[in-house]
């Protein structure tokens, strides 16, 4: 049964201005420049430059009021309006033939801030292999099959698909009849390309391909036999079994292992990383320790010089005089929307600057000891809620500020998230950062005897001796977060 009724309810909604501010807060400095350029392109009422004539310029309301007082004069002028509304093409096409380069001046100083972000580019991994394959002395069919194999390589340079599946692909997609033996011959041509090891079907084959290109020395031959016949024992670091089965000394095995560990297990990564465009990290803040005092500055790119176009301010007064005309009213409404959008964007940029500064000031004061010394163990426990309470902002706002932002210090450029960590209580009841515990854990692992690495139980006992009462499973979790393998896989000869 349907019925109508009146109800009252309270509901919170974000205004478009608030949504715009939230989006601007989470973008880093490099992306902010692109966002400003996009806004300037979409809104002609917004332009770059200092608004130095702000006091002399009439505001929007003043322009409208002035235009209304002139309505009577406009009616008397009559034909004068028609002449004024005509576009003067001389404003767009100057009469003089002075070349553009004579009207430009290079006033850059060595101290001017460089705003361009350098990019590096190059050929992709597959393109590099294709170029090498084209230079080999092979027939066209083998080259075609090799190109298809290169297209099936993953980002690490491995061929993960089996040859019978690729045979079916060639038959159904390109109407090419072949067999696994012919594909195997084409694959050998691909495996002969650089970097060594590319086109391998597993790690064992990848290492063998690289060892085949090394000089036939004793250590290399031993390493090749280790990988070819005892790869499983080597991967599990059962060195005693290898020594017993191969009837060699530990010194011989150590020399062979030293050859193996210098091979590249992911040959495709090297070519891929050099081909991928890299972008320079632009720090959003700068916190420097000078004579025992901390100085915080905001990157100048976060404070762009924006203003509302004076031309649009004059236009709104011009169209206000003819607002009785329907077309003029529509144009007036359009200009009004663009002016409002420009004001909102400038206000959002200013609010962004303020929010960034107050948040970074709170982080700097909370981690003052670290910024002064650079000692990682001086980092205090800090979560988003701690900073949100200090700056009286919502946790989500602080999270947006910390996202993808970097700070330049005396000890390197670090992401803001680096300074956030959970707390941990010692036996004395003192609250310490989990990052401090990870640093002690990492130092202990670096200093351990590699022939007999410390197990998780031994690391737990070591931390308890230092006053950190932590469970073994927590130690294992911290070890995994540090990308440190278990003791058995850290063993060395």
For every residue of 197-222, DSSP letters joined together read TTT-SSHHHHHHHHHHTS---HHHHH
φ/ψ of residue 235, rounded to 5 = -65, -30
Residue 406: other Cβ atoms inside 10 A? 20
Query: The CATH number of the domain where 430 resides is what?
Result: 1.10.10.60
Q: Are residue 479 and residue 453 in the same domain, yes or no?
A: yes
**Any domain includes 107:** no
- pLDDT for res 362: 92
Give a yes or no: residue 481 inside a domain: yes
* Helical (H) or strand (E) element with 158: none
Compute, in degrees rounded to 10, the torsion defined by CA atoms 154, 159, 160, 161. 120
Compute the half-sphere exposure of residue 454: CA atoms within 13 Å on the CB side of its CA: 22
Q: Are residues 290 and 309 in the same domain?
A: no
Question: Distance between CA atoms of 479 and 468, rounded to whole angstroms?
Answer: 15
C-alpha 257, offset from chain centre: 36
Q: What is the DSSP letter of 367?
A: T
Specify whether 258 is located in the same domain as 359: no
How far apart are alpha carbons 274 and 269 in whole angstroms?
9
Interatomic CA distance for residues 485 and 75, integer angstroms: 86
Q: 259-280 in b/e burial notation, b at 16+ Cβ within 10 A?
A: bbeebbbbbbeebbeebeeeee
User: Distances in Å between the alpha carbon of 259 and those of 67, 70, 217, 236, 413?
Assistant: 85, 89, 11, 17, 35
> Do both 129 and 269 map to the same domain?
yes
State residue 66's pLDDT score: 45
Identify the residue whose tokens are 């096409």.
93
Residues 166 and 239 in one domain: yes
- Joined tokens for residue 444: 């202990």
Same domain, 263 and 136: yes
Q: Is there a contact between 441 and 451 (Cβ–Cβ < 8 Å)?
A: no
Instruction: Domain of residue 30: give its range.
Output: 17-51+58-67+302-345
Ramachandran area for residue 248 (φ above 0: left; ψ -120 to 50: alpha; else beta): beta
| Residue 9 domain flag | no
Q: Is residue 470 a part of any domain in this protein?
A: yes
Does one domain contain both 226 and 259?
yes
How far apart (Å, rounded) are the C-alpha atoms in residues 474 and 235? Answer: 26
Q: How many Cβ atoms from other residues are within 10 Å of residue 87's Cβ?
A: 7
Q: Count Cα neighbours of 129 within 13 Å in the Cβ-side half-sphere.
A: 34
3-state secondary structure of 258: helix
The Cα 197–Cα 204 span in angstroms is 10
Note down pLDDT in tens along the chain; length 493 residues: 688 888 888 877 767 777 777 778 778 877 888 888 888 888 888 887 765 544 444 444 544 444 444 444 444 444 444 444 444 434 434 455 555 545 555 555 555 545 555 555 557 888 888 998 889 888 999 999 999 999 888 888 889 888 989 989 888 888 888 898 999 999 999 999 988 889 899 999 999 999 999 888 888 899 999 898 898 888 888 888 888 888 888 888 888 888 998 898 888 876 555 445 556 778 888 899 888 888 888 887 767 778 887 777 777 666 666 666 677 777 777 778 888 888 888 888 888 888 889 999 999 999 998 899 888 878 888 888 889 999 998 888 888 888 888 999 988 888 888 888 877 767 666 667 787 788 888 888 888 888 788 888 888 888 888 888 888 888 888 888 888 888 877 877 6
pTM for this entry? 0.56
Q: Are residues 62 and 130 in the same domain?
A: no
Domain identity same for 402 and 475: no
- Closest CA relative to residue 416, chosen from 460, 370, 449: 370
CA dihedral 337, 338, 344, 350 (to 10 degrees): -170
Q: What angle do CA 390, 393, 394 make, to 5 degrees?
A: 120
Whole-number Å distance between alpha carbons of 348 and 122: 38
Under DSSP, is residue 105 helix (H, G, I), strand (E, B) or coil? coil
Nearest of 306, 320, 316, 364 to residue 338 by alpha carbon: 316
The domain tally of the chain equals 4
Question: For residue 257, what are its two tokens?
Answer: 């292992």
Classify residue 414 by burial, with Cβ atoms within 10 Å: 0-12, 13-18, 19+: middle
**Packing angle between helix 434-446 and helix 472-481, nearest 10 degrees?**
80
Dihedral Cα 10, 14, 18, 23, nearest 10 deg = 150
State whether 131 and 238 are in the same domain.
yes
Helix axes of 310-320 and 60-69: crossing angle, nearest 10 degrees: 30
Structural contact between residues 250 and 373, judged by C-beta atoms closer than 8 angstroms: no
Residue 77 parent element (H or E) = helix 71-77
Residue 8 lies in a domain: no
DSSP symbols for 159-203: --S-HHHHHHHHHHHS-----HHHHHHHHHHHHTSSSTTTT-SSH
Together in a domain, 226 and 306: no
Q: Write down the residue that tokens 């009213």 correspond to.
A: 329
Residue 73 located in a structural domain = no
Domain assignment of residue 326, yes or no: yes
Q: How wide is the angle at C-alpha 413 spanned by C-alphas 412 and 418, nearest 5°?
A: 105
| Predicted pLDDT at 381 | 86
In a domain, 39, yes or no: yes
Cα distances (angstroms) measured from residue 464 to each of 137, 407, 446: 66, 34, 18
Same domain? For 131 and 196 the reply is yes
């Amino acid at each position: 049964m349907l019925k109508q009724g009146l109800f009252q309810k309270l509901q919170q909604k974000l205004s478009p201005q608030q949504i715009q501010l939230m989006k601007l807060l989470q973008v880093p400095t490099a992306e902010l420049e692109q966002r400003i350029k996009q806004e300037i392109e979409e809104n002609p009422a917004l332009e770059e430059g200092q608004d130095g004539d702000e006091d002399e310029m009439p505001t929007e309301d003043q322009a409208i009021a002035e235009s209304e007082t002139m309505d009577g004069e406009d009616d008397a002028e009559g034909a004068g309006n028609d002449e004024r509304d005509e576009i003067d093409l001389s404003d767009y096409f100057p009469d003089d033939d002075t070349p553009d380069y004579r009207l430009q001046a290079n006033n850059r100083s060595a101290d001017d801030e460089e705003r361009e972000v350098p990019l590096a580019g190059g050929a992709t991994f597959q393109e590099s292999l294709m170029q090498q394959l084209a230079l080999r002395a092979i027939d066209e069919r083998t080259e075609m099959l090799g190109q298809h194999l290169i297209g099936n390589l993953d980002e690490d340079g491995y061929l993960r698909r089996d040859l019978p599946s690729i045979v079916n692909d060639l038959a159904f997609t390109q109407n090419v009849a072949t067999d696994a033996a012919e594909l195997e011959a084409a694959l050998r041509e691909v495996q002969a390309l650089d970097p060594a090891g590319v086109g391998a079907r597993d790690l064992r084959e990848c290492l063998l391909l690289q060892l085949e290109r090394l000089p036939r020395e004793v250590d290399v031959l031993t390493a090749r036999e280790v990988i070819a016949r005892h790869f499983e024992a080597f991967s599990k670091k059962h060195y005693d079994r290898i020594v017993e089965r191969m009837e060699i000394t530990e010194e011989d095995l150590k020399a062979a292992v030293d050859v193996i560990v210098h091979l590249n297990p992911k040959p495709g990564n090297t070519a891929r990383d050099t081909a991928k465009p890299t972008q320079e990290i632009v720090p959003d803040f700068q916190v420097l320790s000078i004579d025992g005092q901390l100085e915080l500055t905001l990157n100048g790119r976060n404070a762009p010089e924006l203003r509302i176009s004076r031309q649009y301010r004059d236009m709104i007064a011009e169209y206000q005089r003819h607002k009785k005309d329907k077309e003029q009213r529509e144009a007036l409404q359009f200009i009004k929307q663009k002016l409002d959008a420009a004001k909102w964007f400038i206000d959002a940029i200013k609010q962004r600057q303020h929010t960034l500064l107050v948040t970074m000031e709170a982080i700097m004061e909370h981690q003052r000891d670290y910024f002064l010394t650079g000692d990682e163990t001086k980092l205090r426990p800090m979560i988003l809620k701690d900073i949100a309470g200090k700056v009286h902002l919502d946790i989500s706002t602080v999270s947006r500020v910390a996202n993808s932002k970097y700070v330049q210090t005396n000890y390197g450029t670090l992401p803001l998230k680096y300074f956030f960590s959970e707390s941990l209580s010692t036996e004395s009841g003192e609250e310490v950062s989990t990052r401090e515990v990870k640093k002690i854990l990492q130092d202990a692992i670096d200093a351990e005897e590699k022939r007999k690495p410390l197990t998780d139980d031994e690391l737990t006992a070591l931390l308890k001796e230092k006053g950190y009462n932590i469970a073994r499973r927590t130690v294992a979790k911290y070890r995994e977060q540090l990308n440190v393998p278990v003791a058995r896989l850290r063993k060395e000869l």
